[in-house]
Amino acid sequence: MIPKVYILDDDITYAKLLAANLGKSGRFRNEIFDSYQALSNRRAEEPPDAIITDLVMPGLSGIEVTRRLRQSDPHLPIFVLTAHADLESAIEALKAGANEYLTKPVNMDELTTLLNRALEERPLREEAATIQKVRQEEFSLRAILGEHPRIEEIRQFVRRIAEIPRPTVLLLGASGTGKNLVARTIHYSSPHSDGRFVEINCSALPSNLLEAELFGYQKGAFTDARESKRGLIEVADAGTLFLDEIGDLSLELQAKLLNFLESRRFRRLGGTEEIEVSQRVITATNRDLEALVRSGEFRTDLYYRISVATHELPPLREVKSDIPLLADHFREVFNAEFRKQVESLDDDTLETLKAWDWPGNVRELRNVIERAMIFADGPTLKPSDLPELGSLEVTAAGDTGEADSFRLPRGLTLADAQREYIRRTLQDCDGSIQRAAETLGISRKNLWEKRKKYGLLQED
């Protein structure tokens, strides 16, 4: 279908000449209007694919026309033409939403190229806007489920932070407590949600690769740098950069990150040009950063820089009253995903779920409900539908010589499993460091280091 272009200009002679030139190629159909009202009436009957408007006209100016058109159609290609170009009017037109600002007499090859490009990009922009709207709904404050006062505190924190222009945020909490969800909710609840949300796990890459991922590099910066590449900091410009597991960042990278956070400028690896960006930075960790600072593993100045706005997410065992609500939410999610019709969880199932300690937090609960939904046959989830809570059996010998066994859930990382094993051993030994160290077969010093690493010192 040939695109339709509406031309708005009180100079009908010039408008006819422009329409004739555009129509020569056969790529566009054109209609001419000498007033905004006439154009609006025609738009109501048959919407155009693009609009070209003069800047200076009786009544509404081209800038005001652009502003009104943009309000009703955010993705309509709009071109503003003028016989008397100046920088101030150009800036005003672009701020009003014009795609391009061109000077009469228009270069027809340039105008045709720009029109074609705008028409090709429109479906992509509309698709991106649809995805953005879905993301905003998916990660609205309603996504943070729970009625416990500590969950409401999280929502209040997000509301306040989202309104403030790009403060640095630190989210604390054990694995599976929802730090990623809260980070995304902050981004999509803010006025800058049109920007990109860019996430990187600081523990997932070696230090040298992580530096290249964050800051990018110039061609020839190192052996395999055959072309220049933008880093994630640059990609996240005007959006949000989420640095997960920041407690695992090397001291060398901590210094470079601090320098960036202070100035919002950086250089690509091998580059000499400073690049300036403006974005929100959110960091998260499941480690005790204050303990890392005391041990010299985390820079004091960086800790104070990232902890401008800090919030700690509670483990699921501290908000157990929300388990029924969360479990029912996951039931609905997997009903839709698996095309099932499980209507509820019975009381015995809920009591079973509330009795578990949930070392894997909400992530573990989701996995348990997912597995239950896969194998459930009836309209109600029953205890028999649940997977065995804690399918990894661990035996710890106490000082009495008797065996005491407990279970850890499947799906934990080795670090999470070790943390939970140490925590429960300390509980079984009534907090006695000496007895716990002997039970674990390690020295008191080694146990202290592991408690520090896994954030158990503060818990104790």
DSSP secondary structure of 336-361:
HHHT----EE-HHHHHHHHHS--TTH
What is the location of CATH 3.40.50.2300 in the chain?
4-125
What number does CATH give the domain 392-459?
1.10.10.60
Asked whether residue 110 carries a pLDDT value surpassing 70, the answer given is: yes
Asked whether residue 437 carries a pLDDT value surpassing 90, the answer given is: no
- Mean pLDDT for the stretch of residues 166-185: 93
What is the location of CATH 1.10.10.60 in the chain?
392-459
What is the location of CATH 3.40.50.300 in the chain?
139-312
CATH pick for 4-125 out of 3.40.50.970, 3.40.50.2300, 1.20.1530.20, 2.60.40.10: 3.40.50.2300
CATH pick for 316-385 out of 1.25.40.10, 1.10.240.10, 3.40.718.10, 1.10.8.60: 1.10.8.60
What is the location of CATH 1.10.8.60 in the chain?
316-385
Asked whether residue 4 carries a pLDDT value surpassing 90, the answer given is: yes
Cα–Cα distance for residue pair 268/256, rounded to 1 Å: 12
Q: Mean pLDDT of all residues in the chain?
A: 88
Asked whether residue 418 carries a pLDDT value surpassing 90, the answer given is: no
> For the ranges 104-113, 191-200, 294-303, 443-452, which has the lowest average pLDDT?
443-452
Residue 407 pLDDT: 60
Class of domain 139-312: alpha beta
Contact 281, 232 (CB under 8 A): no
> For the ranges 150-159, 161-170, 259-268, 292-301, which has the lowest average pLDDT?
161-170
Cα–Cα distance for residue pair 209/211, rounded to 1 Å: 5
Residue 459 pLDDT: 54
Amino acid of residue 220: G
Residue 427 pLDDT: 81
| 269: DSSP letter | B
Asked whether residue 392 carries a pLDDT value surpassing 50, the answer given is: no
Helix (H, G, I), strand (E, B) or coil at 68: helix
Confidence of residue 278 (pLDDT cuts 50, 70, 90): very high
Asked whether residue 403 carries a pLDDT value surpassing 50, the answer given is: no
120-128: Cβ within 8 A, 24+ apart: 122/49, 122/75, 122/76, 122/77, 125/75, 126/75
Burial (CB count within 10 angstroms: exposed 0-12, middle 13-18, buried 19+), residue 319: buried
Confidence of residue 432 (pLDDT cuts 50, 70, 90): confident
- Mean pLDDT for the stretch of residues 136-153: 89
